[in-house]
Amino acid sequence: MQTLSLVSQKGGAGKTTLAINLAAAAALRGQKTMLVDLDPQGSAARWADLRGEREPHVTAESPARVSRVVEELRKQGYDFVVIDTPPNADQHAKQAALCADLVAIPCRLSFLDLDAIGATIDLCELVKRPARVVFNAVPPSAIRAVEEAADAMRARHAIPCPILIRERAVLRHAITDGLAAQEYEPDCRAAQEIGELLELLQSNILDFQHSNTLER
């Protein structure tokens, strides 16, 4: 089983939208997928209510139970677990990171977002979990800004993800209808970006799991 936690201790990074789309993309590829919603706002759970019985499965859980929930999902034969976390909750974010094979840190390109990401990077280093910074809601023409942001992340010893998630209206429209981008408009660029990001993150998880096996 692969477990991905999305952690951003700053609100407004687009974490839940990314979690929903990654989980849905995995389910569409035939992976038994669970999206665990730890955010008290319950946005992912409300999205699931709009979908009825369609996969991925979604469960709203208390952050205090996340490690037990992940273990239960492993026993139930899930292939992929995505954990959506609340912002500004250090202990809850820590628990979600500890349960993960990899932490994805969504980040917008604004100075305030880039400046605030340091706390999440430090958290991943503290719990010794690999992390990838995912630049999210990137304006189409922000080529130089992306390069500067990537350099800033590397200066913090963080790894920026080469797959960018651009600012696209389809991501908002799909969620309103209880869908993901790959369901709403399968051939759109947003759906392609999500698919590419999923492939890369799952490849990174395999590398992490393999290295842990060798260390044992």
Structural domain range at position 107: 2-209
Residue 216 lies in a domain: no
Answer yes or no: pTM beyond 0.85. yes
pLDDT band for position 164 (50/70/90)?
A: very high
Task: Quote the number of domains for the chain.
Answer: 1
Residue 168 lies in a domain: yes
Taking residue 61's Cβ as centre, other Cβ atoms within 10 Å add up to 15
Strands 102-107 and 80-84: unpaired
The pLDDT value recorded for residue 91 is 80
Residue 28 lies in a domain: yes
The pLDDT value recorded for residue 143 is 87
Residue 42 lies in a domain: yes
Residue 214 lies in a domain: no
Greater model confidence, 170 or 89: 170
CATH number at residue 152: 3.40.50.300
Rg of the chain taking only CA atoms, in angstroms:
16
179 pLDDT exceeds 90?
Answer: yes
The pLDDT value recorded for residue 209 is 87
216 pLDDT exceeds 60?
Answer: no
**Tens-place pLDDT, residues 11-54:** 888 999 999 999 999 999 999 999 999 988 899 999 999 998 89
Which range (18-22, 78-82, 120-124, 210-214) has the least confidence? 210-214
Rounded mean pLDDT of the chain?
Answer: 93
| CA 140 – CA 142 distance, rounded (Å) | 6
Residue 215 lies in a domain: no
Residue 151 lies in a domain: yes
Residue 15 · residue 35 · CB < 8 Å: no
**Tens-place pLDDT, residues 143-159:** 899 999 999 999 999 99
What are the tokens at 146? 């992306």
**Tens-place pLDDT, residues 122-149:** 999 999 999 999 999 999 888 899 999 9
Residue 40 lies in a domain: yes
pLDDT band for position 87 (50/70/90)?
A: confident
97 pLDDT exceeds 70?
Answer: yes
Greater model confidence, 41 or 216: 41
Cα separation of the two ends of the chain: 18
